[in-house]
Amino acid sequence: MTESTPEPSAPKTVHTFCRYCMCSCGLEVTVEDNRIRKISADKANPHSWRDFCAKGRTADQMVAHPRRILAPMRRVGDTYVEDTWEAALTDIAARMNALIAEGGPDAIGSYYGNPSGHSSSNVMFMNAWMDAIGTNSRFAVGSVDQNALHVVAEAMYGSSLMVPVSDVDNCDYFLLVGTNPAVSGWVWLESVPGGWRRALARQAGGATIVVVDPMRTESAEKADVHLAVRPGQDWALLLAMVKVILDEGLQHRQDCAELATGVGELQRLVADADLDDLAARCGIDRELIERTARDFAAARGAMVVTRTGVSQHEAGTVGEWLGHVLNVITGRMDRPGGRRFEPGYFDALKLAELAKTEPHLSRVAGRPMVAGAHALAELPDEITTPGRGQIKAMLINCGNPVISGPDGGKLDRALAQLDLLVVIDLVQRESHRHAHWLLPAAHWLERDDLMAFTSNMHDEPYVQYGAKVVDPPPGVRQEWEIFVDLALAMRRPLFGVRGFNTFIRATRRIAALTRRPALAFGPHWLDRLFVRMSRKINGRRLTWRELMAHPHGMVLGPREFGHFKDALRTEDKLVHAAPPEFLARTRELLAAPGPAAPEGYPFQLGNRRNRHSMNSWLNELPGLHRSGKHNEVLINAKDAADLGVADGDLVRVFSPVGEIVLAAAVSERPRRGMVIVDHGWGSRIFDPRGGRQPESFGVNRNLLVAGESVDPLSQTSPLSSSYVGVERV
């Protein structure tokens, strides 16, 4: 018997949760010899056990991805060669330090994408590294996603993280605006596991579901009422509803007087708006709006829920705000069937206050940051415009901004001119094609996570330790460690705190001497601290031992009302229903003419999410999209007839900034005058290790979105507002 043959280990079962989306579904994973054999839903997870999808079931395919990066890879000409971490960190640190010496800290830019938010340590340590450098060139996914909610929460409730959660099980009237929970789950800085199934159960018991969406989605199909709003005009629809409620005196008197300030300003605002004008703008009959407003106000338990369909437009923040206003003025905050504040086991709002970034105006466009980052739409010009502060090096962490953001073509050209592009990912995708260094990251099945900062976003007090299921391949590292090592290699103090690097080195020396790796500083220190800082629930505080003893997760107590007012971070402890900047922007929108298509581009380009995709990733996995790996353009049957386009025909969809060619699907689902293309496709997956040809599926519809305009309040790109032309090829 040779010593080097490892003993085969007996199969074991690990309980954890999926970290692809906020649904956080409990998983039961069977493992043998550090290989995943099977992933099933964890039926013993008290929070989520019934919610589980094909993406979670096939997560092992991402772990065993045939094109996965397994060691740092350095660009040599048009190919890549594997190198050591030591070499990678030394080279990157030296090049970044030289660029800082020449152009200042802002020469180093960064972008983090959606998956970073599903790790307990990633964004925190990325920020610690950016603080070490002192760069203001920070970009993030929020400006193509949830910034509007952060801006509204900050202005109305006093904290960008004070996000209300939905009390689905007591709701009698759901007004779902710009969301398709049947496909995307009940998630967006809140998570209600099985939320759509639970809403349908309420409907079976008599509740009403209204879906506001320009497309007849899977959710709209099941709704009692479908309002096919004109894209980008939710603000007009919701303002009209606010007007009906205030003009007819249907508001909740007590909350309007005691919970909120600004209702008088709202009354003055709606006095200057005209219902027929608003109805014409949003394309919905005035009578239908009036009826919906009255029914909403009269329902016992009711909620408005707004999501990406509202935010990804130039008036997105106003739409988001008016959704919250409807909830506030009809007494839905902190009442059964409405929206609550979940205090959770950990006060993430406090953490957010500590982590606030210094205010900064961007160099080229002169715009402030939102939620700690500048808008992705500004990144290309910040790279290509000469001058002090010009971005010369970029680090992309968990992101695919060429696909997920506006005008990917322009960003791609800008990334090509960088002196240094560093990517941390599992595979090399479209946005990474010009990378000088590819640094391999661990998959969530390969790391531990305690998601303390989403504690307030679940619809009940819930905690689960996201246990690691398998060890990562030896050459792979977690992001936090990469950021720590990079700060050390650059000799810049992590978190911007002098002496911190010395402290980290000391803990590492002690760990090495004592052979106890846990003594080296890392996120596990913070996890323990967060548990120790946890809030008492039912008179008891969570303990680390208890957390470890509950691998299926714990529901820490019942859903409670009565925490909302206490949690408000506004100075007067009241909801600010009418922040002046929102009022001003609404008056601006009212004064502008209604929406009209520009000459030559008669259609509005809508968007769709796919059950089997996670934004731009997972498309390539063999276990998903069995019916075909591609996207298509949905065209309303009447529009298709006018264009002479039949089902399956190839069509060209074009805008002033780009064009794509794809097959048409003639459908009754889109509203007339709009065409719909799923986002997240058309991202090449390269093979830096094997050297095979890139794989690509579908086309990138965001190539058609111009980058110039953004919602001025949240700086969100209007990804679902572009006007396009369509013709048969």
Ligand X SMILES: Nc1nc2c(c(=O)[nH]1)N[C@H]1C(S)=C(S)[C@@H](COP(=O)(O)OP(=O)(O)OC[C@H]3O[C@@H](n4cnc5c(=O)[nH]c(N)nc54)[C@H](O)[C@@H]3O)O[C@H]1N2
Q: Which residues bind ligand X (CB under 6 A)?
A: 21, 113-115, 141, 144-145, 177-181, 183-185, 187-188, 212-215, 217, 229, 231-232, 234, 307-310, 313, 397-401, 404, 424-427, 429, 441, 444, 479, 606-607, 609, 611, 613-617, 679-680, 702, 719-720
Half-sphere exposure of 429 (CA within 13 A, CB side): 27
- The distance of closest approach from Cβ of residue 182 to ligand SF4 in the complex, given in angstroms and rounded to an integer, is 12
Closest approach of ligand X to the CB of residue 531, in Å: 23
CA–CA gap between residue 341 and residue 329 (Å, rounded): 17
Determine the residue type at 191: S
Residue 177's binding partner among ligand SF4, ligand X, Mo ion, none (Cβ under 5 to 8 angstroms by kind) is: ligand X
Contact partner at residue 519 from ligand X, Mo ion, ligand SF4, none, CB < 5 to 8 Å by partner kind: none
Which residue, 21 or 304, has its beta carbon nearer to ligand SF4? 21
Nearest residue to ligand SF4, scored by beta-carbon proximity: 56
**Contacted by 534, from ligand X, ligand SF4, Mo ion, none: CB < 5 to 8 Å by type:** none
CB of 118 to ligand SF4, least distance (A): 9
Residues linked to residue 655 through DSSP beta bridges, in sequence order? 658
Nearer to ligand SF4, 51 or 485 (CB): 51
Nearest alpha carbon to residue 600 among 725, 434, 481: 725
CA pair distance 22, 461, nearest whole angstrom: 15
Q: For the purposes of burial, counting CB atoms within 10 Å of the CB of 12, is it exposed (0-12), middle (13-18) or buried (19 or more)?
A: exposed
Beta carbon of residue 87, minimum distance to Mo ion (angstroms, whole number): 35
Choose the contact partner of 214 out of Mo ion, ligand SF4, ligand X, none; CB within 5 to 8 A by kind: ligand X
Q: Which does 56 bind (CB under 5 to 8 A by kind): ligand X, Mo ion, ligand SF4, none?
A: ligand SF4
Q: Judged by CB, which is closer to ligand SF4: 150, or 612?
A: 612
Closest distance between Mo ion and the C-beta of residue 141, in Å?
7
Residue whose CB is less far from ligand X, 181 or 522 = 181
Smallest separation, CB 180 to ligand X (Å): 4
Report the residue number, 231 or 493, with the smaller CB distance to ligand X: 231
Helix (H) or strand (E) holding 138: strand 138-140
CB of 289 to ligand SF4, least distance (A): 34
Which of ligand X, Mo ion, ligand SF4, none has residue 24 at its interface (CB below 5 to 8 Å by kind)? ligand SF4
CA distance 214 to 676: 10
Residue nearest to ligand X (CB): 309
Task: Give the shortest CB-145-to-Mo ion separation in angstroms.
Answer: 4
In the bound state with ligand SF4, the residue whose beta carbon lies nearer, of 54 and 225, is 54
Nearer to ligand X, 180 or 456 (CB): 180
Residues that bind ligand SF4 (CB under 6 A): 18, 20-21, 23-25, 51-53, 55-56, 185
- CA nearest neighbour of 379 among 126, 113, 89: 113
Place of tokens 């879906």: 211
* Spatial separation of the C-alpha atoms in residues 344 and 531, rounded to whole Å: 12
Could you please report the per-residue DSSP string of 300-322? SSEEEEE-HHHHSSTTHHHHHHH
Residue among 144 and 537 whose Cβ is closer to ligand X: 144
Query: Which candidate, 459, 456, 455, places its Cα nearest to that of 186?
Result: 459
Give whichever of 24 and 721 is closer to ligand SF4, judged by the CB atom: 24
Tokens 């950990």 found at: 346
DSSP label at 454? G
- Closer Cβ to ligand SF4, 18 or 305, answer by number: 18
User: What ranges make up the beta strands (E) of 191-343?
Assistant: 208-212, 225-227, 260-261, 302-306, 339-340
Q: Which two tokens stand for residue 193?
A: 């596991």
Q: Quick one: which of 236, 140, 309, 147 has its CA closest to 716? A: 147
Q: Is the Cα dihedral 345, 560, 579, 709 positive or negative?
A: positive
- Report, in Å, the least distance between residue 269 CB and ligand X: 21
56 vs 493, beta carbon nearer ligand SF4: 56
CB of 210 to ligand X, least distance (A): 11
Mask: binding to Mo ion, 508-537, rule CB under 5 A, as x and -?
Answer: ------------------------------
User: Does residue 145 interact with Mo ion by CB under 5 A?
Assistant: yes
Measured at the CA of 711, the angle between CA 124 and CA 269, to 5 degrees, comes to: 120
Annotate 639-693 with three-state secondary structure: HHHHHCCCCCCEEEEEECCEEEEEEEEEECCECCCEEEEECCCCCCECCCCCCCC
The site partner of 397 among Mo ion, ligand SF4, ligand X, none (C-beta below 5 to 8 Å per kind) is ligand X
Q: How far apart are CA 719 and CA 723, in angstroms?
A: 10
Looking at 25-33, 86-94, 144-152, 293-301, which segment touches Mo ion (CB under 5 A)? 144-152
CA nearest 115: which of 546, 425, 471? 425
Report in angstroms how near the CB of residue 687 gets to ligand X at its nearest: 14
229's contact among ligand X, ligand SF4, Mo ion, none, with CB below 5 to 8 A by partner kind, is ligand X
Q: Which residues contact 628 (CB under 8 A, 6 or more apart)?
A: none
Shortest distance in whole angstroms from residue 584 CB to ligand X: 22
Interacting residues toward Mo ion by CB under 5 A: 145
